[in-house]
Amino acid sequence: MNKRHIPALFAVLVLVVACTPVAPPPTPAPAEPSPQGQVEPSPVPPTATPTPDRPLAARVNGQPIYLVDYERQVAQWQTAVLIPSGIDLTSAEGQERLRHDREEILNWMIEQVLIEQAASEMGIVVTDEDVEAELAQIIAETGGEEAFQARLEQDGLTRQDVWNELRAQLIGAAVIERVTSAVPTTAEHVHARHILVGTAAEAEQILAQLQAGADFADLARTFSQDETTAAAGGDLGFFPRGVLLAPQVEEAAFNLQPGQVSSVIESPFGFHIVQVIEREPDRALSPEVLQYVREQAFKTWIEGLWAQAVIERYVNQGP
């Protein structure tokens, strides 16, 4: 699935002097403050029908994304990212890049609606005060109100654009926290090492040496083509399921007991031999692995939203 190549924080990041603009802004419909000073997640409105005076770019579970909002985001992306990058939008390459980015911008806007709809179902609320606090921080990081206004003008944004984006980001962060809160912080781990070579014949020769009593780490240092682990005797460290780039190696490792050596295993990277050193049934996930696992959990959740959604596109029709 190829839906989220452009990250989210465009309208905010382009205003922070120290940051490089890398993402387009989703545009949720402006929300009305409640009497209590809260901004409630926008409910899904009745099904919208495109009309000549209010054409749609897309409709997500009946909720419209208006063409004028979509085209504004495309224009802002061109002004803040494509043109400063030196891309010639009149060239064939520039036109292809713009076509690709237009599709990704619409995908992101659709996804933002899906997230806001889910947030509404979860009862997630963002207050005006929360948004204003984030906005104040952005203004301070930009160099004050005057510099902030100048940056808005430079990037073709309005204060409401940034306010809406900040609100969307706060809602998104709350949704991520809710979705990933059940991810366990411990899991079974194995401590393994491997030898990677380019041919099955070479791997079989090394395996024969291991079976004859050769030292695994010595052979890894001599023969392994994995530049990141060879010097350490092929040591992969401790890892849980679902994190290795070669799932074939991971599967083999979790099927071995300490001291055991696998047969020759083929992966897209070549041919491996794996040895397990230790196993721990309930080891704490490292911060990096925990972050990765949470990202994967959220990715799976998002893919579920896409799969269940009724999405109608009126621009950028594609396969």
How many CA atoms lie less than 13 Å away from 309 in the CB half-sphere?
26
pLDDT band at residue 53, thresholds of 50, 70 and 90? Answer: confident
Give 187-284's CATH code, choosing from 3.10.50.40, 3.20.20.70, 3.40.640.10, 2.130.10.10.
Answer: 3.10.50.40
Q: Which of the two residues, 19 and 101, has the higher pLDDT score?
A: 101
Main-chain phi, psi angles of 34, to 5 degrees: -80, 165
Amino acid identity for residue 115 in this structure: I
Q: Which of the two residues, 269 and 85, has the higher pLDDT score?
A: 269
Q: Is the pLDDT of residue 3 over 60?
A: no
pLDDT by residue (tens digit) across 88-146? Answer: 888 999 899 999 999 999 999 999 999 999 999 999 999 999 999 999 999 999 999 99
Report the Cα 68 to chain-centroid distance in Å.
Answer: 27
The tokens for 263 are 């047969």
CATH number for the domain whose boundaries are 10-182+296-313: 1.10.4030.10
- Of 15-19, 123-127, 198-202, 240-244, the poorest mean pLDDT is in 15-19
- Structural domain boundaries in the chain: 10-182+296-313, 187-284
- State mean pLDDT over 67-93: 89
Angle between helices 287-308 and 92-122 in degrees, nearest 10 = 90
Q: Is the pLDDT of residue 250 over 50?
A: yes
Over pLDDT 70: what percentage of the chain?
82
Cα first-last separation, the chain: 12
Q: What's the mean per-residue pLDDT of the chain?
A: 84
Long-range CB contacts (< 8 A, 24+ apart) of 64-73? Answer: 65/27, 65/106, 65/109, 65/110, 65/113, 67/314, 67/315, 69/27, 69/109, 70/27, 70/105, 70/106, 70/109, 70/315, 72/27, 73/24, 73/25, 73/26, 73/27, 73/105, 73/109
8 A C-beta contact, residue 228 and residue 239: no
